[in-house]
Amino acid sequence: MNLALGRAGVTLGLAAAILGAVTVGYGLIRHRPELVRLSRWYAGLVFLGGFIAAFAMERALITRDFTVKYVADNGSTKTPALYNFATLWGALEGSIILWALILGGYLVAVVLKFRKRLADPLVGWAVFTMLLVCIFFFWMLVGPANPFKSFSPPVGFDGPGPNPLLQNHPLMAFHPPMLYLGYVGFTVPFAFAIAALITGRVGEGWLLATRRWTLIAWGFLTVGIILGSWWSYEVLGWGGYWAWDPVENASFLPWLTGTAYLHSVLVQERRGMLRVWNISLLCATFALTILGTFITRSGVLESVHAFTTSGVGVALISFFALIVLSTVVLIGWRGDRLRSPGRIDSPLSREGAFLANNVLFAAFAFVILLGTLFPLIVEAINNDRVSVGVPYFNRMTMPIGLTLLFLMAIAPVLPWRKASGELLRHRLIWPAWIGVGSMIFAVVVGARGFAPVLAFGLGGFAAGSAGRQLVLATRRQGWRGLVGRANGGMIVHLGVVIIAVAFAASSSYVRQAEFTLTPGQSAQFAGHTLVYEGQNIKQESAKIVDQVLIRIDGTGPWAPSLNKFANGNQTIGTPSVRSTFTDDVALSVIDIKDGENGSVTIRVTVQPLIIWLWIGGAVMAFGTLLAVFPGRRRNPLDAVSAPVSVEPPKEPTGATA
């Protein structure tokens, strides 16, 4: 039943996407608007197909229908309801269903939003491109990643349940959908970019039409990444939250190029420049979401030789190649129209700062991509093994991060076209004092080391500059000074600064130790007193939980535990974290010795300011929301660039680049 329903849904989605693409494409080429307008029905059917597939899979999971192989592989009668529901995205095939469902949802949203312009070739080609992407993902569900394979369970069969790590924290229910809403959301601006290239309407129209979509996708991606690192902090129990591992890097790469795009697009809106660059950034962002899925899903990371056995890997890398190739060909074909007449007058200007931002973000993305793929490159070249890990990424990204903080301090106060040194001295002096003040504060409370203290200083500088813009805007416009893209963007900047400071502090001043304690024994570490009180063993439906009760500075007891899952022999730990606004004490159980008077080995990780990572993430999400909210329409007569001297300049300006 579920099997049939699911297969019907997938087939419906695939058929609707193929027919839709053929109809819309034919209508566009033959100039038959009535055919192009049919796209709304096809979009609805694609979404319906994805919805039916997801519904069938959820129904199979909830009713524990083990005739569906995916449920037999990943479900279990003992899994609690929430994690059972989240098992839809707990493994590869199910996560492609979620991808297809969200893609269908975005397609419907586009068709609804542009319902009056469906026959407009720009919208038509965008919908056509989205339908092509839908064909790929629904084809994956029919072919290499088919979730609806049948299975004949023996009597009394029970599945193993999802990977124990995936049923250990409620964040698992939210992190993947958020991430996918971000990943898939970039399909919309990508589709419009392709449509702009095809129609030759490469001006600013498609940018304005999609800027809010891009921002929303970017916001979801941000939230997804932060929730993911929160999840890893709360679940994995090694005391960290960001390991620069390939899965994290894969989600971070499109975030970096997407962030670069959000900034450089402003230059094109204002000055009509950077057309090729913006289209390339957007297509790179979309391609990187596919490459990221390939990196994490194909098994290529185990070894370059592993992935050829996985049909999913081959499919994803081919799709990636297709995207890159068609983008390059289209850009080459439209090269003549993409040239823009404008010029940037001075590097010391808003647009100059955006260019510097783009170079830095591109370098950042390059470092992450290189570090992630380098082991594969080396293996392919000389069959050698090499590891590129946390120390590499921290060392290489630190200078880029610090420079970005510096730029974040300068750029918001720069006017368009050209700034004078005088103007900068005037506008930046208070932000600079805030930066210096934060350095002094950091040194007084005991912070040492060049990089972290510099990071605190630049963080204060950037926060001061964002704060200055917000104060000026609210003074002029009241509460409306907090909404709109520019002002919301400054709140996002504040969130980024909070995260940067928390990252610098926690990674520079982390202290970690292991203690073996018997009941009643206490230990001192990094200014905290830990007392081991005893154990508490709980029997839950899916697992046996052996809690170790520990008091931290008299609070608690905190209960890190070891979980023995009923299915499978895996034992995994659940850490316990005491968070305060100044520092986190994270406890995880390494070993519980049986029969030796209950002695346990625990790992204690003390890191400052961890909680500010999550607060910063919330501020970023809030700022994005304010940025999406329509701000005050700018009076077209308001001057926005610095006054340009009326006298003709004696020599060409900006030659000091």
Partner 1 sequence: MSSTSAFAKRSPLRRWGPWVAVVVVAVAALSVAVFGTRSAPTAQDRVSSISRTVKCPVCSGESVAESNAPASQEIRRQIAEQVQQGQTDDEIRSFYAAKYGQAILLTPSAAGVNVLVWILPIVALAVGIAALVIVFRRWASMPQERATDEDRELVESALHPDELTDENDPHGEGASR
- Name residues contacting partner 1, limited to 588-607 (CB under 8 A): 590-591
How does DSSP assign 48-82, residue by residue? HHHHHHHHHHHHHHHTT-TTBHHHHHH--TTS-HH
Q: For 546, phi and psi rounded to 5 degrees?
A: -105, 100
Q: What binding mask, one character per residue, do residues 358-377 give for partner 1 by CB under 8 A, x or -?
A: -x--xx--xx--xx--x---
Interface of this chain with partner 1, residues 259 to 288, rule: CB under 8 A: none
Q: Which stretch binds partner 1 (CB under 8 A): 46-54, 236-244, 304-312, 317-325?
A: 236-244
Rank residues 76 and 349 by Cβ distance to partner 1 and give the closer one: 349
Interface of this chain with partner 1, residues 553 to 592, rule: CB under 8 A: 573, 590-591
Rank residues 20 and 246 by Cβ distance to partner 1 and give the closer one: 246
Interface of this chain with partner 1, residues 622 to 651, rule: CB under 8 A: 631-632, 634-635, 637-643, 646, 648-649
Q: Which stretch binds partner 1 (CB under 8 A): 29-37, 107-115, 152-160, 439-447?
A: 439-447
CA distance 424 to 402: 20
**SS3 assignment for 96-124:** HHHHHHHHHHHHHHHHHHCHHHCCCHHHH
Rank residues 7 and 271 by Cβ distance to partner 1 and give the closer one: 271
| CB crowding 340-356: b at 16 or more within 10 Å, else e | eeeebbbebbbbbbbbb
- What are the start-end ranges of the E strands in 459-521? 511-517
Rank residues 142 and 440 by Cβ distance to partner 1 and give the closer one: 440
Structure tokens at 294: 């390939």
Interface of this chain with partner 1, residues 466 to 495, rule: CB under 8 A: 472-473, 475-477, 484-487
Among 345, 533, 583, 584, the residue binding partner 1 under the rule CB under 8 A is 345
Interface of this chain with partner 1, residues 387 to 426, rule: CB under 8 A: 387-392, 395-396, 415-416, 420, 422-423, 425-426
The alpha carbon of residue 154 and the mean position of all alpha carbons in its chain are separated, in whole angstroms, by 42
Among 30, 116, 343, 650, the residue binding partner 1 under the rule CB under 8 A is 343
Minimum Å gap between C-beta 322 and partner 1 is 25
Minimum Å gap between C-beta 196 and partner 1 is 23
Among 14, 194, 207, 453, the residue binding partner 1 under the rule CB under 8 A is 453
Interface of this chain with partner 1, residues 495 to 514, rule: CB under 8 A: 511-514
Interface of this chain with partner 1, residues 294 to 313, rule: CB under 8 A: 301-302
Minimum Å gap between C-beta 610 and partner 1 is 16
Minimum Å gap between C-beta 639 and partner 1 is 4
Q: Helix, strand or coil for residue 567?
A: coil
Minimum Å gap between C-beta 437 and partner 1 is 9
CA distance 268 to 263: 10
Minimum Å gap between C-beta 192 and partner 1 is 24
Interface of this chain with partner 1, residues 3 to 62, rule: CB under 8 A: none
Structure tokens at 26: 């034919």
Q: Helix, strand or coil for residue 391?
A: helix
Across the strands, what pairs with 584?
Answer: 579, 607
Question: Would you mind telling me the total number of residues written for the chain in this entry?
Answer: 657
Contact 589, 562 (CB under 8 A): yes
Among 130, 262, 454, 517, the residue binding partner 1 under the rule CB under 8 A is 454
Contacts of 378 (CB under 8 A, 6+ apart): 384, 385, 386
Q: Is 652 in the site for partner 1 (CB under 8 A)?
A: yes
Category of 198 on φ-ψ map: left (φ > 0), alpha (ψ -120 to 50) or beta: alpha
CA distance 381 to 238: 34
Minimum Å gap between C-beta 655 and partner 1 is 5
Minimum Å gap between C-beta 245 and partner 1 is 5
CA distance 338 to 430: 41
Total residues at the site for partner 1 (CB under 8 A)? Answer: 100
Rank residues 131 and 274 by Cβ distance to partner 1 and give the closer one: 274
Rank residues 30 and 385 by Cβ distance to partner 1 and give the closer one: 385
DSSP H helical ranges for 152-274:
175-185, 187-199, 205-235, 246-271
